[in-house]
Structure 1
Amino acid sequence: MAYDIEEQEQLESLKAWWAKYGNFILAVATIVLLAAAAWNGWQWYQRNQAANALAQFEALEKAAEAGDLTRVKDAAGTILEQYSGTGYAPRAALLAAHAYEKAGDARSARAQLQWVADRSGDEALAAVARLRLAGLLLDEKSYDEALGVLAPQPPASFAALYADRRGDVLAGQGKRDEARKAYEEALAKLDASTDLRSSIQLKLDALGGA
């Protein structure tokens, strides 16, 4: 009988404890379950976004290869609007820019490159976009704008290329001394075995002596 009383006391104690903490425990458990469900849902969403972006990117590649600018515009636009958070977005913009350049549509190419320069989370892709954008602006003799595009500090692996492109822009402006310094900076940052050194040296020699 003593055992039954002890058991009853434990039961009453458990009931009291649950009455005090039960709602809190249920709330925490619910939050944990919802968080797990949200995480799984987010993972599914990310995979779905990546799969859809890949399909659009493949369509873009085919359109670019065929020189079909209408399809290039549609596919690239879809990726940038609906899948801008995926890694395919900056690559799609670079590919579209190349297609536009080949077709002589510099304005559209600039817009795509600017998108990558402004929004890509990949420093290397953003640096590539800035180099190409500066080249287009150089072709249009928009020298100051080109220098502005090259103003941000590039990743170390692009420093020589930036200096070289800056030299091209400055040479276009007729600023020979500044162009010479930029080319010399580019050479200083390049490995001795890099093929690009010869072309930069030719440009430097073409500027003549100080």
Structure 2
Amino acid sequence: MNDYTTEDEALDRIRQLWGQYGKAIVILSILVAGSFGGRNLWVSYKSDSAENSSLNYSQLLLAVDQKRFEDAYEIGSEIIKTDAQSSYAELSSLFLAKISFEKGDYDVAKNTLTALIKSSSDLNTGNIARERLARILLSEGKTDDSQKVLENSKSMDLTNHLLELQGDIMKTRGDLESALSLYQKALAKNVINGQDSSNLSLKLNDIKNNLAGTK
């Protein structure tokens, strides 16, 4: 369950933007991709009101980029502790959940995402957390719980990643026709967005072969 194939590109983009805009206006492009699905999330801040948090967050991104995950976790935890109401804290929570997941600390990752869903003031960030939590639950075989997490959202755009996730849920339930339809819709959005569809194409072919075998 590891699709973080474009994360290095995202971190490269963050470094470019940071160098371009400096402290005047901090523009962060975070690709929340991979194990939990993904999307592009843009956040803008005036440095006058968030300079300290932005500098700490830059250190967090650097630590993640250099795979210093223990340092990243410590920095992210400090951001959440000292600036809990900021968007930096919410984005840090997403990173902490990801780090915990990749370490195998699934309960910690789930608790972090659940807390973020409850506290997030940003609908987009909250929905990203929902997608990630739903993917973890699905990986644990908790299909119904995974579906409930998505259904409890106030508003979730049907992104390609969400469509693929819903397709995964339907496939796990044995509803191959619904899974096929969802995967096809996800693939169409991938094509429009110019995103890699190799993994999704494999899922589609697998579903088609399974359906052909039942006829």
% of aligned pairs identical?
25
1:148 and 2:138 correspond: no
Structure 1 residues 142 and 193: CA distance shift in structure 2, 3 A: same
Other-structure match for 1:120: 120
CA deviation after TM superposition for structure 1 residue 48, in Å: 8.7
Query: What letter matches 1:68 in structure 2?
Result: E
Check the 8 A contact 1:93/1:115 in 2, yes or no: no
Check the 8 A contact 2:47/2:54 in 1, yes or no: no
Q: What residue ranges of structure 2 are gaps of 5+ in the alignment?
A: 1-45
- Work out the number of aligned pairs and report it: 161
Q: Which residue among 62, 67, 70 is the counterpart of 1:68?
A: 70
With structure 2 as the length reference, what TM-score do the two structures score? 0.60
- Quick one: higher RCO (CA 8 Å, sep 6+), 1 or 2? 2
Residue 129 of structure 2 aligns to a residue whose secondary structure is helix
Other-structure match for 2:50: 50
> Cα deviations across residues 129-168 of structure 1 (Å, max 9, x unaligned)?
222222211111111111122223323xx52211111111
CA deviation after TM superposition for structure 1 residue 196, in Å: 3.8
After the TM superposition, which residues 1-210 of structure 1 pair with which residues of structure 2 at under 5 Å, given as runs?
50-54=50-54, 56-57=56-57, 60-61=60-61, 65-68=67-70, 72=73, 75-151=75-151, 152=153, 153-155=155-157, 159-192=159-192, 194-208=194-208, 209=211
Q: How many Å separate the matches in 2 of 1:91 and 1:190? A: 24
Other-structure match for 1:30: none
Structure 1 residues 192 and 66: CA distance shift in structure 2, 3 A: closer
Q: What residue ranges of structure 1 are gaps of 5+ in the alignment?
A: 1-45
Bigger-Rg structure (1/2): 1
CA deviation after TM superposition for structure 1 residue 201, in Å: 3.1
CA deviation after TM superposition for structure 1 residue 206, in Å: 0.8
Other-structure match for 1:20: none
Structure 1 residues 194 and 63: CA distance shift in structure 2, 3 A: closer
Q: Which stretches of structure 1, 4 residues or more, deviate above 6 A after TM superposition? A: 46-49
Structure (1 or 2) with the greater strand fraction: 2
Residue 94 of structure 2 aligns to a residue whose secondary structure is helix
